[in-house]
Structure 1
Amino acid sequence: MQPNDITFFQRFQDDILAGRKTITIRDESEAHFKTGDILRVGRFEDDAYFCTIEVVGTSTVTLDTLTEKHAQQENMTLAALKEVIAEIYPNQSQFYVIDFKCLSSD
């Protein structure tokens, strides 16, 4: 079986598959993805494959420059987005936005 290229928490799976979540915000360890990359996506909890995405853009952002648009792309409020990012990446301020579209699902 092929390894997954990127993982998401299971709670985001339905939003990704439905096209409600179209970005992910990551730290420097995942800043290597670039526009045009085709990625196998797995669940963080069990690494089970659930879809394939295409990276359609990348950019950088800080916690202070997150906007309502980012929140909409994540399918959550801006306050919730900032809380989730701070929880996942404590004591970090520079992040990498990966814009994507879901190509296929399992």
Structure 2
Amino acid sequence: MCCLSIECQIFIKKIIMKTLKDMTFFERFEADILCGKKVITIRDESESHYQVGSVVDVSTFETGRYFCQLRILSVEPIAFSSLDEDHAKQENMTLPELKSVIQNIYPGIERLFVITYERLA
């Protein structure tokens, strides 16, 4: 079994802690987040690690440009097939739009997570 040096362990821990404090969104969602029309995000399991009550720095996926902070209110599992009009409304989309966006980002993934947040001033 390979043992990691203390330096490697610290480096990995720093990367993990940074990841827990950051969230990215496509630029096209920025305005809706900033004006409060988009109050949830739907992610796959690899992006479901956010802790309720934590504050995350938010930036654009495309360029990494910071644009706000969010407080995580809840992280709940959901099946793609269970997405409904309420989820679409919270994403500021129609249900067909929401399902299309999710399928484009996470093709073929059924197990997802609804992350509810509030924007901090």
Task: Quickly name the TM-score band, shorter chain normalised.
Answer: over 0.9
Residue 5 of structure 1: how far off its partner (Å) = 0.4
Q: Which has the higher strand share?
A: 1
**Higher RCO, Cα 8 Å, sep 6+:** 1
Paired-residue identity, %: 46
> Which structure 1 residue ranges, 4+ long, deviate > 3 Å from structure 2?
none
Amino acid at match of 1:80: E
| Structure with greater proportional helix content | 2
Distance in 1 separating the partners of 2:47 and 2:106: 12
Q: 2:49 aligns with which of 26, 32, 38?
A: 32
Q: Which residue of 2 aligns with 1:48?
A: 65
**What CA RMSD, in Å, does the superposition of the two structures yield over aligned residues?**
1.4
Note if 1:21 corresponds to 2:60: no
Q: Size of the alignment, in residue pairs?
A: 103
Which one has a bigger Cα radius of gyration? Answer: 2
Structure 1: stretches of 5+ with no match in the other structure: none
Please report how far the alpha carbon of residue 97 of structure 1 lies from its aligned counterpart in structure 2 after TM superposition.
0.7
Tell whether 2:102 aligns with 1:85.
yes
TM-score, with length taken from structure 2: 0.81
Runs of 5+ consecutive residues of structure 2 not aligned to the other structure: 1-17
Partner secondary structure for residue 120 of structure 2: strand
